[in-house]
Amino acid sequence: MAAAPTPLLDVELVRRDFPILERIIHGQPLAYLDSASTAQKPQQMLAAVTRFYSTSNANVHRGVYTLGVESTDAFEGARDAVARLLNARSRREVIFTRNTTEAINLVAKTYGLQHCGPGDIIVSTVLEHHANIVPWQVLAQATGATLRFLDCDDAGVLQLDALDGIAREGNVRIVAVTHQSNTLGVRPPLAQLVAWAHAQDAIVLLDAAQTVPNRPVDVQALGVDFLAFSGHKTLGPTGIGALWGREELLAGLEPFLTGGEMIRSVRLERTAWNTLPWKFEAGTPAFAEAVGLHAAIDYLEGVGLTAIDAHEQAITEYALARLQEVPKLRIIGPTSADLRGGVVSFVLDDVHPHDIAEILDRHAVCVRAGHHCTQPLIERLGLPATVRASFYLYTTTDEIDRLIVGLLDVRRIMGV
């Protein structure tokens, strides 16, 4: 079976931009199928960071000298790029964080602490990454609010019929949900959840770590209130991510971290906070990383997020079909490429996923094995762990074929 070619994306041309894809491991070309963990980097992004450090490095928002102005312009230019990428109404709505995790913690520790108390309810789902569970657990403990999780069925479909019962238990304040599961690839019915949350006067935080990298994400069209994503999954450097939040909500919040940069004026007895977005950016920000993220966003927009989405969809369809040819292999989650993204979890008979990943590594095929930071979901599905293959704009059908060859080798070696 051949994957339908993606008309708008020339994958071989794209691959030439990613130096790491030339690596040979155990005598074979790298087949990197772990982009849901972190994405590989295009040379345009690497060059932008090197160029910045080589020519314009100086701390931001301080120097009146040329380098400092250049550096500040580059940093703030990155904010404009994120605002454009997400279709934010204003650049003031974009707060740089270290990653998705920090962005969600920021909301929990500011909006959450200010708005939740006994009798209030925070709703999340069993599909979530730990980053979208633990901050809400801590918030519930700190405030006396109740944390409720929407369950899913064996295919990862959320059971929304529990919502009305949850609403009767108290005041729903926050609904924190993933845009796409990093373990099953399923996408929750966001429009329905947003409508329900807003009918309860609750806000919606969207964990978009798995979608900002690979498809157009428009915060205004989605109607959510906060959105978090990570730069390192979006072709950018580590150490930078962003929180987008509706300006009227951000304006009413107390700061997250305090110190330099986030202040307007400091007296020994009292401090006045800076305006948005800097009120939430204490200390020297990751400005060189922001420059890298800007270059990554330019790269993604140059290739086209619609084309990347279509490519991932085609690769996922191909992978789902080919994986089903492997005897005793069970795909966890939906086996159709509709309403899911380029992440496929599976188990192979009773072979431990770590053994599978280790044997695949001998074929230079990189997959992740374990609970993928979604321990409650893996337990809910009654599994010890899964193998997860995940795809991106540089993934080829040839790499999927090599995954299949590797899996047949697993069967041979493990005798299943």
Provide the token pair at 9: 């994306």
309 vs 318: CA distance, rounded Å: 14
Active site residue 373: yes
Q: Quick check: 207 binds ligand PLP (CB under 6 A)? A: yes
By the rule CB under 6 A, 35 interacts with ligand PLP: no
Q: How many CA atoms lie within 13 A of 262 on its CB side?
A: 15
**Under rule CB under 6 A, residue 386 binds ligand PLP:** no
Query: Two tokens at 359?
Result: 């044997």
Q: If we measure between CA atoms, which residue out of 389, 386, 382, 385 comes closest to residue 152?
A: 382
Q: Which of 72, 124, 143, 210 binds ligand PLP (CB under 6 A)?
A: 210
Nearer to ligand PLP, 209 or 288 (CB): 209
Does residue 289 interact with ligand PLP by CB under 6 A?
no
The verdict on 99 binding ligand PLP (CB under 6 A) reads yes
Kindly name the residue from 116, 152, 366, 373 that is annotated as catalytic. Answer: 373
Among the listed ranges 158-166, 206-214, 216-224, 297-305, the one in contact with ligand PLP (CB under 6 A) is 206-214
Site for ligand PLP in 129-148 (CB under 6 A): 129, 131-132
Minimum distance of ligand PLP from residue 416's CB (angstroms)? 29
> Which residues fall within 8 angstroms of residue 366, CB to CB, at 6 or more apart?
30, 31, 32, 33, 34, 360
Contact status, residue 242 vs residue 82, Cβ threshold 8 Å: yes
Please report how close the Cβ of residue 46 comes to ligand PLP at its closest, in angstroms: 19
Binding footprint of ligand PLP, residue count (CB under 6 A): 14
Residues whose CB falls within 8 Å of the CB of residue 403, separated by 6 or more in sequence, listed in order = 31, 33, 319, 322, 323, 360, 365, 367, 389
Q: Does 101 bind ligand PLP (CB under 6 A)?
A: yes
Phi, psi of 331 (to 5 degrees): -80, 135
End-to-end CA distance of the chain: 25
CB of 234 to ligand PLP, least distance (A): 10
DSSP state of 200: T
**In terms of CB distance, is 110 or 183 closer to ligand PLP?**
183
Stretch of residues binding ligand PLP (CB under 6 A), selected from 127-135, 140-148, 252-260, 401-409: 127-135
The footprint of ligand PLP (CB under 6 A) covers: 36, 99-101, 129, 131-132, 178, 182, 207, 209-210, 230, 373
